[in-house]
Structure 1
Amino acid sequence: MTDVHVLGIRHHGPGSAHSVAEALATVRPDLVLVEGPPELDQVLPLLSDPEMAPPVAGLIYAVEQPRLASFYPLASFSPEWVAIRWALSTGTEVRAIDLPAAHGFAMAAALAEAPSSENDGDTSGEDAVPEVRLQQPYRPDAIATLAEAAGYSDAERWWEDAIEHRNAGPVDQFATIAEAIAEIRAVDNRASDHPDVIENNLREAAMRRLLRAAIREGHGRIVVVCGAYHAPALVPTNFPPAAADNKLLAGLPKAKVAVTWVPWTSDRLSLRSGYGAGVTAPGWYQHLFAHWTAQESYGDVATTWLVRVARTLRRENLDASTASVVEASRMAGALAAVRGRPSPGLAELDDAAQAVLCDGSPLPLELVHRELTIGLELGNVPESAPTVPLAADLTAAQRRLRLKPSALEEVLTIDLRKPNQLARSVLLHRLALLGVDWGVPSETGRTMGTFKEAWTLCWEPELAVALVEASRYGTTVASAAATYVSERAQVATSLAELSDLLARCLLADLPDGIRGVVSVLADRTALQHDVPPLLETIAPLARTCRYGNVREVDVTEVRRILDTTVVRTCVGLPIACAGLDDEAAAAMRRAIDSAQHGLSLLPELPLDDWHGALAAVAGSDRIHGSVAGRATRLLLDAGLVDGDEVAARLSRRLSIATPAPAAAAWLDGLLSGDAVLLIHDRRILQIVDDWVAGVHDDVFDDVLPLLRRTFSLFSPPERREIGEQVSRGSEPGQAASPMMLDLTGAGPAIRTMARYLGWEADA
């Protein structure tokens, strides 16, 4: 006769974990069954490896569709972790029981491919496989119902009071929980065809089938560790006929899956994922479990927690004396008594810490919450854990370059002149190409030059899935990135996309990829006759040429394509800018600005043709005002037209003969970006002021939004200065020019500066 003990637990509950440990020590089973897909059986022994350090997660993914993946997180205070480790340490057999992930993934894939229409046919046949829609995990809020019955509005607090801070015997406690959950399940009025109910029925049928098989094997004592909601369904005396379960599971599709362990983080334990039902304070639960395992009193738990809080505050140069810790501990106890709690919980400790240690401010407590309540731990898995070759290559590269993954976000500044740091940059850029965003480029200030980069690094557990997905491109980071680039170049739909891909190849040091993209880009550029795409290509090509020398990459062919693109753009620009409507003109203006920015990156590049094309655009009356005005501004910035010429063009464009909307568009093109012209040339400001004052009432409402947009781009100090100048008034023709400067009066200052600069100056 097999004795089956079902331990209904709360996932990631330290009290549940402690009770499971006590129950296992009491029952001494010869088989332990833990809730989880049976595919995990092959990697469960790895949890006894000395290099395995929680938090970790079982990762199961579909081999042909790696995006179909599930994580099953475990922390040191997870009841499943405690049960598995106990079994492995005592030589007891341990297995996982649940619906195989192979079925779940196959059903999810079938659902994704199914037509969106509902009830396309009759599925009422007796042998029909139920329609399973695994869109959300089945998580009925039975605990919330128990909490409400006990007079609690917060299910988490009820569980902490009734279960985590408990003194009842472990086996009896689990029996009581199962009995209470059974009553809740009895009043569940959801229809049998509800998607969540279907999923739950499948899972519990699979669990029972595996449990029946274990009983038939003749084990004397079996312990089942599962979520509390499932406990009543796994008590053998409550089993439905085996035929009913077998019928429910018959004909389910299957997918080929793979399984491994991956590092997890404390932060991710606070989210809902897989079987990790999401706890709000993993760091606090870790603290609780460690003290309960050491059999210390709860008073010690509260005091030592406040000691850790004080240490955290001191590291941030905040006062937190020993006397304050004692006072906070007393306050936490008093708060628990006032609130009718058996002992201080995290809420009482937080309130006491904020009042006593943080002087009532919630801001220091936010730091405590991040570092202690949540925690910054990142688990570790042994090298013997199954992995794809790409992940193994990344691990080797991390070790070689001394780039250790961390769950804590940190900024890494890289000096590209140093070989080891250049290799770090290359690795991060290659991973970014593959969609493994371990590092994200960031800015660190104005001191960054072309030889420096800054990255924000943070290792997220989901990156393990991204590595599996990227492994189809190659077995090493370099080969996978090169293959990805080659495939992406062939399907790129625009020159801008190809140019951006080329720039990323350069940063990732992929010579083969660069050659492949350059070849495709040369062909596509030769066939491209539209000017805007050519304009958008200039900036990425210019960046590639500029930064190529820093990374010691030959960019000769890229420079040739850039030169050709610039020439073709200059030839076609005036014609391409003619006859544009407002939307097309806005797009053309953005493209011209992009090209101008790219050309400015290469001071050695001859710009005569470019400036000639801009002059043709600026001088034509057939071109949209927004584009012509912008061309005029670029010529002014380049020193090819002076203030007098700009004032003359502005007067002509803002004359009565020009429709007000067209005049406003030209003005927007001229002034967009900054207010330097209006502030430092009073003639232009006066012309604009007179024009605005003279706009007829019937068109003013049409012009106002464009003017508002133009001036809204100026900074508040610039707008204030313009307003003050207009309010003071100015004489037409009064402009800031060298003729207004008193050079005689400035003579002494000029001579002094000349001496400071080491220039020869006549006395």
Structure 2
Amino acid sequence: MPVTFIGVRHHSPACARLVASVIDDLRPAWVLVEGPADVNGRIGELLLGHELPVALFSSYRDDTRRVASWAPFCDYSPEWAALTHGAEVGSALRFIDLPAWHPAFEGRSNRYADAELRYADVMERLCRAFEVDNVDALWDHLVEIAPAEGLFDRLATYFDLVRGEAAAGESDTAREAYMASWVAAAAAAAGDGHVVVVTGGFHRPALVRAHAGLSVGAHAGLSVGDAQADGPGASGAGAGEDGAGAVGEQPIWPDIPEMPEGAIGGSFLVPYSFRRLDAFDGYQSGMPSPGYYQELWESGAGGAARHLVEAVAERLRKKRQPVSTADLIAARATAEGLATVRGHHRPGRTDVLDGLASALVKEAIDVPLPWARRGTLEAGSHPVVVEMVAALSGHRVGRLHPDTPAPPLVHNLDAELERAGLDGAARLELDLTRAADRDRSRVLHRVRLLGVPGFHRDSGPATGLDPALRERWTLRPGPERLTAVIEAGAYGATLTDACAAVLAERAAAAGRDVDALALVLFDAALSGTADVSDRTLADIEAAVGAAPELGPLGRMLAVVLTMWRHDGLFGTARSSTLATVIAAAVRRILWLAEGVRGDEAPADPGRIGALAACRDGLRHAGRALGLDRA
């Protein structure tokens, strides 16, 4: 049962090539990949034929927490190479990591955030030893633009150094124990067939040690040369999806954790974009400039360097920035000189960027160059530098295969938009006194509250006291809409349910901020969500009952009371939700006012307005709401 462990850096072209090469040579019975085990029954969806990048989006929601997690794939992701090449040689494929909602991922929105970044002291020592600015430059120097020979051993050494002897945190330990149990199951059942395990490099040393301890005499931690010595044909190609066949038995897989009772969630593929994949835009993968690495994947280091210069020049010229031929010649010469000094086989990303910056930025730079450190672009970055970073990011946006399953919200939203005539590009003016326009407005507001791009309200009523009776909207459908709707599917299966869940989340997050709470209540009115769930109503009542200041509480009460008394436009007249808010606000205002002493506090318009709103609440709603005026 030979097992080959390949530690990778996520979204690394060099690692992707290595994974593809090993799988093509060994033709393993099983290919095990770091990824959510709860979607193993749907791995086929990943292989439908999408235009990359795409991501596996997982959501989870219960009474105490909400999780949204992405596992992105692009052409040069090692995990994608493992899945596609494994499928081509007939290997059975399995994800072996805990589900995205599991507490082990608490605080991480991206499954493939580089684990070694949490051990910055090791990375700092390595960067000092190799005299580079940061881990990205170190990685390019050691891996991406270095010769391919000996890469497997180089990676193993690198990740052994990163991991060191330090104990991993609780979350990594839990994940590694779970992944090791999948490796043990596959190895036990594979017979003479190979098993290839592809995970983040940080986890590789722990998995190798675990496998060596579980399987005495097994080929744990083999190098590529050791694995190939056993014979790439020994695995028996074509093991099939169930992993059974001539190579061994069906594995007894570990149990997959199930969501707690009452929790809502699921996983679906979404289109992704290079911009969302870019570390300079906040993505946690640790690999910046996806447009550059795509070119590195397709054309090699020399082609990527040429493309980088051309992309920057083209972008700057479109922005009417002067970029002469002499500037480009100077940039290329500087990049080649830097590559030589830095010991690079060919100019790498930072060599070319430094060369371009020296040739194109004529003024002093007040903010450090972004590729000299890690993280997002800082405010005040030179405009030319900003355009350079954008050019390297690339504009690619993925597209899902038409047969890709989608959450129910996608189909419900499409139907609602088509039914209301809102599914195309348009500029609309809606008269809110007309029932048909009011219905269309409610649909648009529900979509707006879900954060779906392409639906912008240009004008309309801003509060319940606003006399505006017309709305103007601009509708611009775009490729990013599908991604947003799939992700919003975490809130509910229908537009109405999802909108109510978003409002409930906002109400809970508002806490004692009654101004924020007033906006939630007005958005509920605009979207036709007049009455909310008992849980949300309790949260709202508690927030109003704990409001610390009279002024904001009075402003909210004035708006809510007007909507409760008069509003036939949005359907909130005599709303039970607003009735609860009014009663709670009146009691809280009287309680806060009792603590105000005239000799200690001067006259204040906010306090006076609050007492006036309290008076009106008692006068117009007291009897209906059971408030005792006396």
Question: Counterparts of 1:428 and 1:270 in 2: how far apart (Å)?
Answer: 31
Task: Say if 1:320 and 1:357, in contact at 8 Å, map to a contact too.
Answer: yes
Q: Measured at CA, do residues 234 and 421 of structure 1 come closer, stay the same or move farther in structure 2, by a change above 3 Å? A: farther
Deviation sequence 1:186-244 (CA, Å, 0-9, x none): x5244xxxxx344434333332322222222325232221222233344489611369x
Q: Give yes or no for the alignment of 1:349 onto 2:369.
A: no
| Alignment-derived partner of residue 241 in structure 1 | 214
Question: Counterparts of 1:322 and 1:540 in 2: how far apart (Å)?
Answer: 65
Tell me by how many angstroms 1:307 deviates.
0.9
Task: Say if 1:57 and 1:72, in contact at 8 Å, map to a contact too.
Answer: yes
Q: Give yes or no for the alignment of 1:175 onto 2:183.
A: no
Tell me by how many angstroms 1:483 deviates.
8.1
Q: Measured at CA, do residues 240 and 417 of structure 1 come closer, stay the same or move farther in structure 2, by a change above 3 Å? A: same
Deviates further, 495-504 or 323-332:
495-504
Task: Say if 2:525 and 2:571, in contact at 8 Å, map to a contact too.
Answer: no
Equivalent runs, 1:178-577 vs 2, <5 Å: 178-182=156-160, 185=163, 187-190=164-167, 196-215=168-187, 216-218=189-191, 220-235=193-208, 239-241=212-214, 255-256=259-260, 258-270=266-278, 277-292=285-300, 298-322=301-325, 324-360=327-363, 363-369=382-388, 371-382=390-401, 384-394=403-413, 401-402=422-423, 415-416=429-430, 426-431=442-447, 436-438=450-452, 451-452=470-471, 467-468=489-490, 470-471=491-492, 475-481=493-499, 500=519, 503-510=522-529, 536-539=556-559
Tell me by how many angstroms 1:272 deviates.
11
* Counterpart code for 1:348: D
Tell me by how many angstroms 1:580 deviates.
4.8
Q: Measured at CA, do residues 52 and 67 of structure 1 come closer, stay the same or move farther in structure 2, by a change above 3 Å? A: farther
TM-score, normalised to structure 1, is 0.54
| Alignment-derived partner of residue 162 in structure 1 | 142
Q: Measured at CA, do residues 578 and 167 of structure 1 come closer, stay the same or move farther in structure 2, by a change above 3 Å? A: closer
Q: Measured at CA, do residues 403 and 150 of structure 1 come closer, stay the same or move farther in structure 2, by a change above 3 Å? A: farther
Choose between structure 1 and 2 for higher RCO, CA contacts under 8 A separated by at least 6 residues. 2
| Alignment-derived partner of residue 81 in structure 2 | 82
Q: Measured at CA, do residues 356 and 33 of structure 1 come closer, stay the same or move farther in structure 2, by a change above 3 Å? A: same
Question: Counterparts of 2:192 and 2:64 in 1: how far apart (Å)?
Answer: 38
Task: Say if 1:539 and 1:594, in contact at 8 Å, map to a contact too.
Answer: no
Task: Say if 1:204 and 1:233, in contact at 8 Å, map to a contact too.
Answer: yes
> What SS is found at the alignment partner of 2:213?
coil
Question: Counterparts of 2:409 and 2:87 in 1: how far apart (Å)?
Answer: 30
* Counterpart code for 2:139: W
Question: Counterparts of 2:438 and 2:397 in 1: how far apart (Å)?
Answer: 26
Tell me by how many angstroms 1:180 deviates.
4.7
Question: Counterparts of 1:487 and 1:275 in 2: how far apart (Å)?
Answer: 24
The number of equivalent residue pairs is: 513
Question: Counterparts of 2:611 and 2:521 in 1: how far apart (Å)?
Answer: 17
Question: Counterparts of 1:538 and 1:163 in 2: how far apart (Å)?
Answer: 64
Question: Counterparts of 1:267 and 1:427 in 2: how far apart (Å)?
Answer: 29
Tell me by how many angstroms 1:512 deviates.
7.4
Question: Counterparts of 2:334 and 2:438 in 1: how far apart (Å)?
Answer: 54
Q: Measured at CA, do residues 347 and 214 of structure 1 come closer, stay the same or move farther in structure 2, by a change above 3 Å? A: same
Task: Say if 2:554 and 2:610, in contact at 8 Å, map to a contact too.
Answer: no
| Alignment-derived partner of residue 5 in structure 1 | 4
Equivalent runs, 1:654-733 vs 2, <5 Å: none
* Counterpart code for 2:182: L
Task: Say if 1:536 and 1:591, in contact at 8 Å, map to a contact too.
Answer: no
* Counterpart code for 1:101: P
TM-score, normalised to structure 2, is 0.64
Tell me by how many angstroms 1:451 deviates.
3.7
Question: Counterparts of 2:356 and 2:115 in 1: how far apart (Å)?
Answer: 37
More helix by share: 1
> What SS is found at the alignment partner of 2:72?
strand
Question: Counterparts of 1:64 and 1:512 in 2: how far apart (Å)?
Answer: 19
Task: Say if 2:53 and 2:74, in contact at 8 Å, map to a contact too.
Answer: yes
Question: Counterparts of 2:550 and 2:198 in 1: how far apart (Å)?
Answer: 67
Tell me by how many angstroms 1:9 deviates.
1.0
| Alignment-derived partner of residue 52 in structure 2 | 53
Tell me by how many angstroms 1:252 deviates.
11
> What SS is found at the alignment partner of 1:240?
helix
Task: Say if 1:283 and 1:374, in contact at 8 Å, map to a contact too.
Answer: yes
Question: Counterparts of 1:395 and 1:76 in 2: how far apart (Å)?
Answer: 30
> What SS is found at the alignment partner of 1:35?
strand
Q: Measured at CA, do residues 384 and 226 of structure 1 come closer, stay the same or move farther in structure 2, by a change above 3 Å? A: same
Larger radius of gyration: 1
> What SS is found at the alignment partner of 1:306?
helix
Deviation sequence 1:651-685 (CA, Å, 0-9, x none): xxxxxxxxxxxxxxxxxxxxxxxxxxxxxxxxxxx
Equivalent runs, 1:33-44 vs 2, <5 Å: 33-44=32-43
| Alignment-derived partner of residue 695 in structure 1 | none
* Structure 2 unaligned blocks of 5 or more: 108-113, 217-252, 366-380, 463-467, 614-618, 620-630
Question: Counterparts of 1:165 and 1:578 in 2: how far apart (Å)?
Answer: 71
Question: Counterparts of 2:281 and 2:470 in 1: how far apart (Å)?
Answer: 41
Tell me by how many angstroms 1:344 deviates.
2.1
Question: Counterparts of 1:357 and 1:179 in 2: how far apart (Å)?
Answer: 39
Deviation sequence 1:23-67 (CA, Å, 0-9, x none): 333333342211223223223221222345314134264778771
Tell me by how many angstroms 1:306 deviates.
1.1
Q: Measured at CA, do residues 75 and 300 of structure 1 come closer, stay the same or move farther in structure 2, by a change above 3 Å? A: closer
Question: Counterparts of 1:341 and 1:232 in 2: how far apart (Å)?
Answer: 28
Tell me by how many angstroms 1:160 deviates.
0.2
Question: Counterparts of 2:448 and 2:599 in 1: how far apart (Å)?
Answer: 37
* Counterpart code for 1:299: G
Tell me by how many angstroms 1:68 deviates.
4.0
Q: Measured at CA, do residues 421 and 184 of structure 1 come closer, stay the same or move farther in structure 2, by a change above 3 Å? A: same
Question: Counterparts of 2:326 and 2:438 in 1: how far apart (Å)?
Answer: 51
* Counterpart code for 1:232: P
Tell me by how many angstroms 1:79 deviates.
0.9
| Alignment-derived partner of residue 589 in structure 1 | 605
Question: Counterparts of 1:498 and 1:234 in 2: how far apart (Å)?
Answer: 49
Q: Measured at CA, do residues 340 and 272 of structure 1 come closer, stay the same or move farther in structure 2, by a change above 3 Å? A: closer
Q: Measured at CA, do residues 339 and 146 of structure 1 come closer, stay the same or move farther in structure 2, by a change above 3 Å? A: closer
Task: Say if 1:331 and 1:352, in contact at 8 Å, map to a contact too.
Answer: yes
Deviation sequence 1:58-84 (CA, Å, 0-9, x none): 426477877145432222221111221
Q: Measured at CA, do residues 300 and 233 of structure 1 come closer, stay the same or move farther in structure 2, by a change above 3 Å? A: same
Task: Say if 2:268 and 2:407, in contact at 8 Å, map to a contact too.
Answer: no
